[in-house]
Chains A and B, each alone.
Chain A
Amino acid sequence: ILNVEQSPQSLHVQEGDSTNFTCSFPSSNFYALHWYRWETAKSPEALFVMTLNGDEKKKGRISATLNTKEGYSYLYIKGSQPEDSATYLCAVKAAGNKLTFGGGTRVLVKP
């Protein structure tokens, strides 16, 4: 069973501040990591799919990095806005395992 952990479980951010949070996973037999953004009452939407060590992806004010050797990915939100409030999910695919989701980091941006 693949163990994908996200921390923190939740965080509050003041509007305009930047923040980041982590997805950790076993580094062996890594294939890919997905980040999803999940707003309340909506469906998860893909942000990034990352496969290579050192990968960095950016979409607007949101960016992500990947370290497959140590088994973690960071998601960064620059200049947080209220519309960034959502749960951010990561999911990891490794050899012999299905795509496995972490528990998510719930972000609340306070105006």
Chain B
Amino acid sequence: DTAVSQTPKYLVTQMGNDKSIKCEQNLGHDTMYWYKQDSKKFLKIMFSYNNKELIINETVPNRFSPKSPDKAHLNLHINSLELGDSAVYFCASSRPGTYNSPLHFGNGTRLTVT
């Protein structure tokens, strides 16, 4: 029944490792996003895909690479993890046209880099 699901919920790893977070939505939405909750608890957009095509790519280190195998999935791969990457990452989806369609969020992945 879960509309937007992301795994894992918690991820603890060491500096320098490579890790992935997976996201899947069963709402039939064309647009998917990755948000990062920063240290001040703000939600900041990282990436947005529309029907597997990258449409938003904010100023994010190129160690972060999104991959969308199909429009129901948007995974986030992070290379060479750094301490500053520790945060909560949220996946979301919406119908096309971001300004008048509400976002549906996953439950977040808390990444801790030690």
Contacts and interface: CB of A to CB of B under 8 A. Distances in A.
B100 A49 contact: yes
Contact of B45 (A42, A49, A98): A98
A62 to B, nearest CB: 15
A98 B58 contact: yes
Interface string B27-62: 000000000000011111100100000001010000
Given A99-B45, A101-B43, A93 B99 contact: yes
Nearest to B100: A32
Contact of B103 (A34, A51, A104): A34
A76 interface: no
Contacts of A51: 99-100
Contacts of B43: 44, 89, 91, 101
A98 B56 contact: yes
Nearest to B108: A43
B105 to A, nearest CB: 4
Contacts of A43: 4, 90, 105-108
A46 interface: yes
A44 B45 contact: no
A41 B76 CA distance: 21
B34 to A, nearest CB: 12
A75 to B, nearest CB: 15
B80 to A, nearest CB: 26
Contacts of B103: 34, 36, 44, 46, 91, 99
Interface in A29-75: 31-32, 34, 36, 42-46, 49, 51
5 closest Cβ contacts across the A-B interface?
A: A46-B102, A93-B99, A43-B105, A32-B99, A31-B99
Interface of A: 31-32, 34, 36, 42-46, 49, 51, 89, 91, 93, 98-99, 101-104
6 contacts: A31-B99, A31-B100, A32-B99, A32-B100, A43-B108, A101-B44
